[in-house]
Amino acid sequence: MIRKVKGTRDILPPESRLWAAVEAEARRVFGGLGYEEIRLPVLEPTELFVRGVGEGTDIVTKEMYTFTDRKGRSLTLRPEGTAGVARAFIEDGLAQRPGPQRLYYIGPMFRYEKMQRGRYRQFGQIGLELLGAATPQADVEVLLALHEFLAALGFDDLVILLNNLGDPEDRPRFIARLKEELAPQKEELCGDCRRRWDANPLRILDCKVPACRAIVSETTPIAEVVSDGARVHVEAVAGGLDAIGIPVKRAPRLVRGLDYYLRTVFEVVSPQLGEGAVICGGGRYDRLISDLGGPQVPGIGFAIGEDRLIDVLPPAFRDRVLGTRPVVILPLVPEAAAPAFDLARQMVSRGIEVRVEVTGRSLRAGLKWATKLGARAAVILGPDEIAAGTATLRDLDQGEQEQRPLAEIPDALAQSKHAEP
């Protein structure tokens, strides 16, 4: 038997219904705020991520799926979406359109990393980007979009963590101070952090090893070293969120794992998974597009790990999506097939989920099948019903049934659907 690749998974019904419902909410909320979907290639030139994400990041050094194609070009399965959006902004001339550009994307990403709950090597991601606005109000809008989306899913306990990374010009000063404070305990850091010491010292702050976290907890927060401009910007973001009732918690050592972030950075964590399990993260990246060869265009965005998000969906949303009960149609003779499919077409147009029996089951077997499906009603089309232009409508909860004209069946089922508690 051929098995799926390790780190990937099959998303089967009914879970796939949850994925579709979550993505529909994203499209509804983001679309309502003026964001439009961009669909990016799964394959990109490796250089895009080396230059965009950062040569010293864990994503580039340890996690990318990179290969050489038949013409000797280095290609990579996309590990994240922002760099691809920046590349499209430059290549497709989005700067010529009325700005700012409001974009979102939904699709798979790929990273070779240790698997755990809610984390796979192929994982779903929902991302949103606002390009062309450098003001704190742009940051507030992006976090508003995130907050409204999560609220639409029924979340009321997620925590938004906020930090100030400052500007790139602030970084050498902060890194020098960080190394000075960590130097006496350098040998106590984990192997990855000692490797990061020269290549990417900011990532030491993001280490998940408890011993390293304890060591860095005593260092000076980066927000205390940043420029006045960066400080004013992030304070305005926090104030703007407070003004519209979106609570945030300051996280003085939050850095995120991508080199392009500056000033505003944030994460969303779930108490159910613990603060080490991030559902969503994002921030401002005002230099990314110019670093990739484009114009100087500011940007801010976020990306949500869809696998983790669905893993912790509120029960009410989950029940609403999975609690839909179908209607089954049982055509018992060949001449009942056409009326059965015509009824199905009318039911679908009224928002009724329907299953037509197409294997030739008997009435008894068909009713047993309907019960296993959790159907709420069965529409029976036997020879007597076909002759009379009627159908037998059976309530599978009450066990009661009645014969009604075919034309009345769709409306009767639609009314009973709306009457359900």
What local confidence, expressed as pLDDT, does residue 421 receive?
45
What local confidence, expressed as pLDDT, does residue 182 receive?
87
Q: Do domains 15-167+226-318 and 325-419 have the same CATH topology?
A: no
pLDDT of residue 281 exceeding 50, the answer is yes
For the domain covering 325-419, report its CATH number.
3.40.50.800
Structure token pair of residue 119: 């984390």
What local confidence, expressed as pLDDT, does residue 139 receive?
98
Q: What are the residue boundaries of the structural domains of the chain, listed by start?
A: 15-167+226-318, 325-419
pLDDT digits (tens, 9 = 90+) for 144-153: 999 999 999 9
CATH architecture of the region 15-167+226-318? 2-Layer Sandwich (3.30)
The dihedrals phi and psi of 356, each to the nearest 5 degrees, come to: -95, 130
pLDDT digits (tens, 9 = 90+) for 25-50: 999 999 999 999 999 999 999 999 99
pLDDT digits (tens, 9 = 90+) for 328-356: 999 999 999 999 999 999 999 999 999 99
State the average pLDDT for the chain: 91
Q: pTM for this structure?
A: 0.89
Overall average pLDDT of the 357-383 stretch: 96
% of residues, the chain, pLDDT over 90: 71
What local confidence, expressed as pLDDT, does residue 116 receive?
74
What local confidence, expressed as pLDDT, does residue 152 receive?
96
pLDDT band per the 50, 70, 90 thresholds, residue 314: very high
pLDDT digits (tens, 9 = 90+) for 92-145: 999 999 989 999 999 999 999 877 777 899 999 999 999 999 999 999 999 999
